[in-house]
Structure formats: C-alpha cells, structure tokens
C-alpha cells in the first residue's frame, strides 16, 4: 500500500505542531511494516513531480490553506482521500449555519466566483472518503458545523515522542540559570497565542515567564511589547528534538497555553509527558479523563482564572508520575497503527463497493455542487 501525504505548499517553511504531526505520522507508519499482508509505504508527495494517481491513497493534513484543491484533484483521478482537517472545536450547529448563509450570499453576489473558506473546508470534508479527528470535540465540530456523516469519521489523537517522558531539568537550569519556579509557554509568538495576556495575568506575581517559539516578522512589535516585562525571557525557537525543549518542560512549574483556540496541542501533551501540569484555553479538542489535578482550562481572556490555576499548581504541584500516566498511551506508534488499520479498511470497502464504469458520474464543479447543497438543505434555526 503506497500512501501519499500532502498539506499546503509552504508547510515546512516554519515549524510547529502540524509539521511535527506530519513528520512523526510518516515515520511511525513506515515503522509498522506489512499491514494485512501488504507492505505499507508512506511518503511526502511532491505534486510538481509526482502524480497523485501513482498512490493507492492520499492523506491530506489540514482542510484550510487551499487544500480542498488537493482533495478535488485526487478525487477526480479516482484516488481515495483521507483528510485530517484540524478544525477548531468552536464550530457548532449555529456557527455552521451562519457560515453557510454567508457562503450563499457571497456566491449569489458574485455569480459563484467567490468561495468562502468555510465552503472550501466543507467541500474537502465531503469529498474525503475518510475523516480523522484528533478528539471527540473536533469530531463533534465536524458533524455539527459542517454536516458531515459521522459514519466516515475516525478519532485518533496526536502522539508524543518518547524523550519527553524521560526528560530532566538540569540542562535547562544550567543553560538559563533559572532555578526557582517559573511558567513556560511554548508556541509561535503572536496575538492569537496570547503571550501578552499571560504576562498581564501574572503581572503581580513576580513569577518568571519563559517563552519558546518562533516569531514572524509581522509579530516582532508584539514580541517587543511582551518583552517589556522584566519577568519575561524569550529563548527563541527550538527544534522539536532539541534536548533543551524537553528539559524546559520538566523544569517548569507550570506550562501555560492561553491561546484563543487549539485543536489537540502537542505542547500540552509534551508537558504532561514531562510530568508538568498545564493551564490552557478552554477552546480545545483535548479531553483527558480525571485530569483536573494536572490540567486546568480557562477562557483565553480570563486572567483571574488563569492566575488562580497557576498559583494553585505552584503551591500544590501534582505528583509527577501521576501526571505522566495521563498521556502514557499517546505514542506515535499506537496512533499510526490505528490510522494504518483505517487505510486498509477504507481500501477494502472501496474495492467491495466499486461501481461499474457505466454507473460512475462526473463530479460537479464547485459552483454546481454549492447550488445543489443549497437546494438540498432544509431551513435551519440558529440555536445550537
């Protein structure tokens, strides 16, 4: 089984959670070996040099940034697509209805020459033969916000590299000289991630805040504003496999992620794997049972709740091994095994249900499909 992995063209011009997810998924899939007596080979696809129909299956990561065109192209070639959409759990029935109304209005005003990002995402979800959600919250967002049949959705979370479970604090303390309590935030530096909000929430606690992450040129002024606090220290961007990153997770008293929204953030999983508690946004798809002793959620602009949770973790830190136990099952190999099983199941079902050539129909264009969907949908209320 030859599996092609694709996302948007500029994906690897920066580094973050999605980049790690793609790399680790490919590596873990290729470690599995034969699946259902068939060898499994997964690789990144270069669409400038390779045709999609040379693969048995295409797996697309992210439903935005124009990736619906990849799904369309593969579907037109008859290649089944698995889609990991990575959608915000904030989507629900009401927001989906409003987005569809806006899409119809934009279409009618422009003779269907303008496509909203919602419509593009929905088209990718409709054309995909299988959709993979990172958690139950994202699954519900896909069903409620985009009207996707839940039958074709599977749930597989992100994984965690083993070295985060065995991390030690000494390297971080030696490199930085920070030996006391501090709060760590890992992620891109920008207003959406909300580093400034965290610093302001902790302004009167005299508590060091260490930031690790890349800053884009347009966000340099934002970083300068954050660094005006004497309690903030920025270590720049670190590679995902840098031992200093794992050591920082272990050394921190608390890891904070008060961003406007997350799907299934690797920074949270990696922190818990290091045994460090987390305070994060409540707009996320991460659901760990009986985790309140080590994982607190608060609204991104609720400074009082964030400050209280961080203070509580510093005063009463949870037992490190108990924290690690929350995520010990989240290994990339286990995730990849489930995904590989889904690949086999999908291909087997398609072979069994393959129609005769006479029964196959030409796929409608975007405008035609949008109009068909509009005609088929029943009027909806805006209540969730």
Summarize pLDDT for 152-161 with one digit per residue, the tens. 999 999 999 9
Residue 70 has pLDDT above 90, yes or no: yes
Angle, in degrees to the nearest 10, between helices 117-127 and 68-76: 30
Same domain, residue pair 117 and 203: no
Structural domain includes residue 383: no
- CA angle, residues 204, 210, 215, in degrees to nearest 5: 115
- The mean per-residue pLDDT over the stretch 305-309 comes to 97
pTM: 0.80
Same domain, residue pair 342 and 269: no
pLDDT band at 356 (very low <50, low <70, confident <90, very high): low
Asked if 207 and 183 touch (Cβ cutoff 8 Å), the reply is yes
DSSP string, 3-51: EEEE--TTGGGS-SHHHHHHHHHHHHHHHH--BTTB--EEEE--TTTS-
The domain boundary, picked from 310, 325, 340, lies at 325
Same domain, residue pair 12 and 155: yes
- Alpha-carbon dihedral sign for residues 66, 68, 69, 70: positive
Structural domain includes residue 296: yes
- The mean per-residue pLDDT over the stretch 361-376 comes to 43
Domains of the chain: total: 2
Largest Cα–Cα distance of the chain, in whole Å? 73
Kindly report the CATH number assigned to the domain that includes residue 12.
Answer: 3.40.50
The domain boundary, picked from 325, 341, 361, lies at 325
Which strands form 232-234's sheet, in the order they lie side by side?
232-234, 209-212, 183-186, 254-257, 278-281, 295-298
Same domain, residue pair 245 and 282: yes
pLDDT band at 380 (very low <50, low <70, confident <90, very high): very low
Q: What is the pLDDT of residue 355?
A: 60
Q: What is the pLDDT of residue 235?
A: 97
Structural domain includes residue 384: no
For the record, the structure tokens of 76 come out as 């037109």
Structural domain includes residue 382: no
Structural domain includes residue 236: yes
pLDDT band at 363 (very low <50, low <70, confident <90, very high): very low
Same domain, residue pair 136 and 181: no
Same domain, residue pair 256 and 314: yes
Give 15-31 pLDDT, tens digit per residue. Answer: 788 899 999 999 999 99
Q: What is the pLDDT of residue 284?
A: 83
- The mean per-residue pLDDT over the stretch 88-105 comes to 93
Kindly report the CATH number assigned to the domain that includes residue 285.
Answer: 3.40.50.2000
* β-strands 295-298, 278-281 pairing: parallel
Residue 185 has pLDDT above 80, yes or no: yes
Range of the domain at 142: 2-159+331-376
Same domain, residue pair 310 and 171: yes
């Amino acid at each position: 089984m030859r599996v092609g992995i694709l996302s948007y063209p500029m994906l690897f011009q920066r580094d973050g959670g999605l980049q790690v997810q793609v790399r680790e998924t490919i590596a873990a899939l290729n470690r599995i070996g034969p699946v259902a007596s068939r060898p499994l080979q997964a690789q990144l696809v270069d669409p400038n040099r390779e045709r999609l129909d040379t693969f048995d299956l295409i797996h697309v990561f992210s439903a935005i940034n124009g990736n619906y065109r990849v799904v369309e192209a593969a579907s037109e070639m008859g290649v089944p697509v698995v889609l990991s959409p990575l959608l915000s759990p904030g989507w629900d029935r009401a927001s989906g209805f409003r987005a569809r109304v806006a899409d119809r209005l934009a279409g009618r005003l422009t003779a269907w020459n303008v496509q909203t990002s919602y419509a593009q995402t929905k088209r990718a979800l409709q054309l995909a033969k299988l959709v993979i959600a990172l958690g139950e919250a994202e699954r519900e967002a896909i069903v409620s916000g985009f009207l996707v049949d839940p039958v074709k959705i599977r749930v597989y979370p992100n994984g965690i590299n083993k070295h985060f479970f065995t991390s030690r604090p000494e390297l971080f303390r030696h490199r930085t000289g920070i030996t006391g309590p501090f709060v760590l935030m890992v992620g891109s530096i920008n207003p959406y991630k909300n580093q400034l909000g965290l610093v302001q929430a902790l302004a009167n606690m005299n508590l060091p805040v260490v930031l690790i992450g890349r800053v884009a040129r347009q966000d340099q002024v934002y970083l300068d504003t954050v660094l005006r606090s004497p309690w903030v220290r920025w270590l720049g961007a670190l590679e995902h496999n840098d031992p200093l990153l794992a050591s920082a997770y272990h050394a921190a008293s608390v890891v904070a992620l008060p961003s406007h929204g997350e799907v299934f953030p690797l920074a949270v999983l990696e922190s818990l794997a290091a045994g460090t508690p987390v305070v994060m946004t409540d707009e996320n798809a991460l659901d760990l049972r009986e985790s309140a002793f080590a994982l607190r959620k608060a609204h991104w602009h609720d400074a009082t709740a964030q400050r209280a949770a961080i203070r509580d973790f510093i005063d009463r830190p949870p037992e490190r091994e108990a924290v690690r136990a929350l995520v010990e099952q989240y290994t990339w190999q286990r995730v990849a095994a489930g995904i590989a099983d889904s690949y086999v199941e999908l291909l087997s079902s398609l072979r069994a249900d393959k129609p005769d050539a006479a029964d196959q129909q030409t796929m409608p264009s975007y405008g035609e499909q949008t109009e068909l969907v509009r005609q088929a949908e029943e009027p909806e209320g805006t209540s969730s």
